[in-house]
Structure 1
Amino acid sequence: MNDSIPLRRVLGAAAVAGTLPYLTLKTLWLTGHPVGVTVPGLLDGPAMTALNTATLLLDLCVVALAAALGARRRLPAVPLLLAGWAATGLLLPVALLSPAALLRAGTDGAGLAAWVRPLVYGGLGWQAVFLLAAFALLARDRWGTRVTVPVPPPGAVEGLARTTAAGGVVVGLLAVVAGVAAAADRPSFPGVVGAAVDATAALTGALGVLALRRGRAGWSPVLTTFTGSAVLFTGGLWTLVSATAGPLATDRPLYVLAQLCGLLAGFAVAVAGMLVVSGRMCGPVTVSPRPAPVP
């Protein structure tokens, strides 16, 4: 179970190293040093302060998760899974978009110097590679084949799993339609790429949870359900939270609708996947017979 702890610690240390440029930049901004900002007053206002504070705290969470993944002590499963799920949803799209962002460095900087985009996306992509690799090793060591054995879920949750999975798939398809419509309404390179990532997440999450519902064994349906639901949920949540910093809800209603549908679909697919996998994670429950009354 603990064979990969040394490697997980190395990967975690590499992920932590990737947080240093981002943490430094955010700290400078929050302390009144607009390094890399070319438009005066861009960082002013409570909304931008809150947004920078939130992203700094998220990067500190990466440091905490990296330390937890390398710990020798057996930590509770639920917090680890939730943290790894959220990290996957937030960092994986950034890792996929990093090459495109680096190639477009210096264009459409939105008031930032040309080096800011490569620093931010490069650092986040670095974190994604090493942190998610460490999390994958921990999942393999801790749960191994337990989640890949085709054991049906407990009868008490079978109906709920079926209904939740169906709802997640339907809402996920709505998110794809709304996302494609939003990208077509205002075509741009980041918008098209983001819509493609969201659509891929919705389709892989739906296919994964349907495969789990059919009893398919192996890591593939577990990983696709886990990854697709994480990207949908965290992407939608982050977009809706970020909308408070600007007029996004009124300027791009189709995009906001797509992200809201993605949030709901990601949550439903994740819950359905956990309900199905619950039969593989826990052994059958045995109920001891009630002792007969003594005459």
Structure 2
Amino acid sequence: MFRLLARRNYSIHWRFKDVCPSPRYDTGCTYCQPEFPTNLAIDFDKNLNKTGAIPTKHVMVLTNPINQISELPSKTEFIPNSIPSEITKYRTMFQTDDQRVTISVIHFNNNRHQQILDQYNIKPGSSQQLVFLYPSMKIIRFDLSVLDQFVKKYLYSKPTAPVYNPFVQAKPPASNNDLFDSIVVDESNFIEDELDKDLLVICGHAKRDLRCGIIAPKLESEFNQVLVRHNLQDTIYTGQVSHVGGHAYAGNVLYYPKDCQTSKDFIWYGRVFPKDVQGIVESTIINKEIIKDLFRGDIEAY
């Protein structure tokens, strides 16, 4: 069941497309317009470039006592006995000036989610955890009791000393050495596998912001239908994700291809509506083109 495969040795050559292509057919809801409360309008005026706090590492948590993203509390840290709540005590080990780590909860649609948990022998109510780690492209199983070892092994970032400036009083770098040194990693606690499918998730965190909860189901349904039309349904995980920021730009869509090498391969889109789905599938998923007018990353970084 578990296999450790060699990482791919090439990166994606992203190209740019100015606008999202118009749909070529109607699935039945391609032109559906979600209705938002008047006090929760979508911001259509702001340029989306650089509006996303795109991380350098992204931990996607599949094991969560609450199955639906729409039912998550407003902050995932409020979920007891979960990675989002327990990992906060180790924050100084991985959130540094040189590294931004995001911890998200994801849930896949249809029966895919439970099939993955069954494949990795994750029993209901157990403390076993299953995460996807990007851009390392790993599926990792471990017990919540060794979360500190997980942080040290996969997320740790050594603080760097500030650049010397004779005119500014130097502040010592934040130290996490004591905590780091106290943790002993037992490699046998971790089972790794390689991620071999693309990932596309939509923010559906309704209790954080209703806009995401309203639009996510429509987008999820549209993506599923369009992916089937292209015979891609078995090559990509699709579902919903917890809060990623920028609710005013709902729908927020994250696409992480299986050939991710760095965070530059994390494609974050905002203001996505069902009419945009065909264009995203054909341009971004198939042709690896970033759509500028939807892109929340930094265009200048490419």
Length-normalised TM-score, structure 1: 0.25
**More RCO (CA 8 Å, sep 6+):** 2
Of structures 1 and 2, the larger Rg is shown by 1
If each structure's strand is expressed as a fraction of its own residues, which one has the higher value?
2
TM-score, structure 2 as length reference: 0.25
